[in-house]
Amino acid sequence: GAGVSQSPSNKVTEKGKDVELRCDPISGHTALYWYRQRLGQGLEFLIYFQGNSAPDKSGLPSDRFSAERTGESVSTLTIQRTQQEDSAVYLCASSLWAGQGNTGELFFGEGSRLTVL
Amino acid sequence: GDSVTQMEGPVTLSEEAFLTINCTYTATGYPSLFWYVQYPGEGLQLLLKATKADDKGSNKGFEATYRKETTSFHLEKGSVQVSDSAVYFCANYGGATNKLIFGTGTLLAVQP
């Protein structure tokens, strides 16, 4: 597609429920990133994919968070047993590749706003 | 580890005032440096970048120079407009980490 697409744009859920957030990167981009932005705070790195593998999962806050990517395309971020502190905007970004020679320009989607009641 | 520190906001200026938002970084090796902007109700977008020391990134009247000796990448604009009101994020991308590390963001409010 023309840009990074994320869905849903807004999600309200009850504490304890599971949620899935989807990211469709720019076609041909092999690197895909997930960030979290809590209200009034900066961007917190969660995980990135190079192709379908995730070399760096260091930012995932707990084992309730997981992500996968298939076909070097769509990625899904899953949050199990949501808590109120999970409320945030979850941003997805993609780039041509990650690593040597990449100058690091990322293209961001508009985010999925998650509210946990 | 890699990090970015930028001045806290909010920064409130009158239209046509001079803007500086300070940013310093720590990184292993030679990172690329970025300023991203988030306008109200919109997604994050790249404003400008510099990929090596002494490079100057520029866009929409904004400039930032990659200073290796002071590990800084301060954002400047000579004359701000109301339409520049947004949150500005400084970021570094290191080849060793393969990810963008962001500062906490600086809210700029420009008043007519």
| CA separation for the pair A58, A68 (Å, rounded) | 15
| CA separation for the pair A97, A107 (Å, rounded) | 12
- Picking from A108, A110, A112, A113 by the largest number of B CB atoms within 10 A of its own CB, the best residue to mutate is A108
Q: What is the DSSP letter of A86?
A: G
Q: Are strands A65-69 and A75-79 parallel, antiparallel or unpaired?
A: antiparallel
Q: Which residues of A touch B46 (CB under 8 A)?
A: 105-107
CB contact under 8 A, B99 and A45: yes
Q: What is the DSSP letter of A99?
A: S
- Closest CB to B98: pick one of A98, A105, A109: A98
> 3-state DSSP call for residue A85?
helix
A107 vs chain B: nearest CA distance in angstroms?
7
If you average pLDDT over residues A80-88, what whole number do you get? Answer: 97
| CA separation for the pair A88, B77 (Å, rounded) | 31
> Which of these, B68, B47, B66, lies nearest to B58 by C-alpha position?
B47
| CA separation for the pair A53, A38 (Å, rounded) | 26
CA A98 to chain centre: 16
**Residue for token pair 């999962």:** A57
**Residue for token pair 């869905």:** A7
- Closest CB to A43: pick one of B42, B89, B93: B89
Q: Which residues of B touch A109 (CB under 8 A)?
A: 43
Tokens of A42: 């900066």
Over residues B45-90, the pLDDT tens digits come to 999 999 999 999 999 999 999 999 999 999 999 999 999 999 999 9
Chain A contact present for B89, CB below 8 A: yes
A21, amino acid identity: L
Q: Which residue of A has its CA nearest to B41?
A: A110
Over residues B28-55, the pLDDT tens digits come to 878 899 999 999 888 889 999 999 999 9
Q: Strands, DSSP E only, in chain B?
A: 3-6, 11-14, 19-21, 23-26, 32-38, 44-50, 56-59, 62-65, 75-77, 86-94, 99-102, 106-111
The count of other CB atoms within 10 Å of the CB of residue B56 is 10
Over residues A30-48, the pLDDT tens digits come to 899 999 999 878 899 999 9
If you average pLDDT over residues A72-80, what whole number do you get? Answer: 95
If you average pLDDT over residues A98-117, what whole number do you get? Answer: 83
B103 vs chain A: nearest CA distance in angstroms?
6
| CA separation for the pair B91, B68 (Å, rounded) | 15
| CA separation for the pair A90, A35 (Å, rounded) | 6
If you average pLDDT over residues B95-111, what whole number do you get? Answer: 88
Q: Which residues of A touch B43 (CB under 8 A)?
A: 91, 108-111
Residue B10 pLDDT grade (very low, low, confident, very high; cuts 50, 70, 90):
very high
